[in-house]
Amino acid sequence: MNAKTTATSFADDVQSDVNRALAGAEDMLTQAANATSEKAAELRARALEQLKALQGRMKEAQAAALEKSKAAALVTDEYVHENPWRSIVAAAGVGVVIGLLIARR
């Protein structure tokens, strides 16, 4: 599995976790609004636990994304230092293409 597929899979997993946690918390809070005070307190506590778990998962995802972006930046920096002329030509080519696209408008 390549890095792009892994990153996409990780993002899909995080999105699925977020959706599941939010749906569960919403359901529990809806039930809590219609329940007795003891049951409502229990449901609110469970919803709060789910939201805290979601917050932890989001922090993990943020840390993973930060780590991967730092690694990509390091690899890019190494490539540019090893191939300065290729990098200059590539940047100039991208600039020309962007300039042509802007000029067409």
Cβ neighbour number for residue 32 with a 10 Å cutoff: 19
How far is residue 97's CA from residue 102's CA, in Å, rounded to a whole number? 9
Overall number of domains in the chain: 1
Q: Can you give the pLDDT of all 105 residues of the chain as single tens digits?
A: 555 566 567 667 777 777 777 777 777 777 777 777 777 778 778 877 888 888 888 888 888 889 999 999 999 999 889 989 998 999 999 999 999 999 987
Structural domain harbouring 77: 3-104
What predicted TM-score, i.e. pTM, was given to this entire model? 0.53
Closest CA to 7 of 64, 77, 58: 64
Token pair for residue 87? 């990098």
